Amino acid sequence: MSNQHPAPGGSNQFDFDQAIDRSSSASQKWLKYHDQDILPMWVADTDFVSPPAILDALKQRIDHGVFGYTLPPQELTDAVIEHLHSNYHWQVESEWLVWLPGLVCGLNLACRSVGESQSEVISPKPIYPPFMSSPRLSDRSLVQVAMTLVDERWVLDFEALENAITDQTSLVLFCNPQNPGGSCYRRQELERLMEICQRHDLILCSDEIHCDLILEPGVKHIPAASLSLDAAQRTITLMAPSKTYNIAGLGCSLAIIPDKQLRQRFMRVRKGIVPDVNLLGYTAAIAAYRDCDEWNQQQLNYLRGNRDYLLEQINQIPGLKLLPFEATYLAWIDVSGLGLSNPPAVFEAAGVGMSPGADFGDKNYMRLNFGCPRPLLEEAVKRITTAVLKNNT
């Protein structure tokens, strides 16, 4: 199935309004509310068909007919290096790349690779849930530092971060663009973070999986490790094509670790526990990084429209607030004005299944995934409005 059709002038136009029935595809997102009239707007995968170039590459690989053990293809290494250089002016070396079957295992491996048993790992709050579970699962102590609002942007509170550092601190977990807040960190903010890490001799694990999903014109993603030689040597960068190109189910992510000793520790902890990436994951990733930039540019335009629609609509609903945000297809909605004891249940009763803010560390919020065709989003907004009106009467 392809969402591609010719446009005037011979270029390709992609149809993001196309509705795809995922109910019979064993989709984690859609099975959560199986046989219920609840729109799944929670876990971070989109409802868009993946780019035609990826579909074509997968078909060709399947037609080959042999699916044995597969090494990371040189084509993929070359495509990633070119992508990072052309998009972020970051020159990485091939030996820095460690391929993984998922980004979450990268967070866990980072925690296990840095420090010793019961050493402290600092994580922002609110944050993507594995940031909170990974230290605990790795026999580390979790220390959380609150995010703060600066000019209506959710960013790490650097003063609170510095105050939280002790002699037991070994690792800082970082997320840029921020999930769930949608902020993209500026160079000055990243430089301050790296200066703190350098002064206290800390390793930074930077989750940058949403880096190709910057919605705000003029805002640019900057990899933390690209700031300086020292930043590179103390950073584990985690990336993947999964969120951008809707191929999370194919399980292909990477860690970029310039420091040889840190990389060797990371690979030693991984050995015998974390499996290699499957060959179809590699195949899709090559096509994503090499052949799908135009598709993503059109996706970004579509997502901007969805974001702007949400900002306008949500902020007209009494008791709800959505601040402007710069990246991702995830909206962090403040529902504290409704005074609800169980926000997820109220919205599910109205037919919208969002991610509970409590999972991210703040029960006063809900996270809504708007990576879907506009008609589905419009229906979700109608149902959210109904839920609020019922609550207010």
List pLDDT tens digits, range 63-118.
Answer: 999 999 999 999 999 999 999 999 999 999 999 999 999 999 999 999 999 999 99
Per residue in 126-174, pLDDT (tens digit) is 999 999 999 999 999 999 999 999 999 999 999 999 999 999 999 999 9
C-alpha pair distances (Å), 104 with each of 144, 151, 261: 18, 30, 22
CB burial string 70-90: b at 16+ within 10 A, e below: bebeeebbebbbebbeeebeb
Domain spans in the chain, listed from the N-terminal domain onward: 4-51+293-392, 66-291
Amino acid at 189: E
Nearest to 352 by CA among 297, 313, 302: 313
How does DSSP assign 313-340, residue by residue? HHTTSTT-B-----BSSEEEEE-GGG--
- What does the alpha-carbon distance between residue 305 and residue 312 come to, in Å, rounded to a whole number? 11
Q: How far apart are the first and last CA of the chain?
A: 46
Q: What percent of the chain has pLDDT over 90?
A: 95
Looking at residue 173, what is its pLDDT?
98
For position 11, what pLDDT does the model report?
57
Looking at CATH, the fold of the domain delimited by 4-51+293-392 is given as: Aspartate Aminotransferase, domain 1 (3.90.1150)
CATH number of the 66-291 domain: 3.40.640.10
Chain-centre distance for alpha carbon 327: 10
Mean pLDDT for the chain overall? 95
Q: What is the pLDDT of residue 324?
A: 97
List, in sequence order, every residue forming a beta bridge with 235; answer none if it has no partner: 204
208, 228, 205, 288: CA torsion to nearest 10: 30
What are the residues whose beta carbons fall under 8 Å from the beta carbon of 125, sequence distance 6 or more? Answer: 132, 144, 145, 146, 147, 360, 361, 362
Global model pTM greater than 0.75: yes
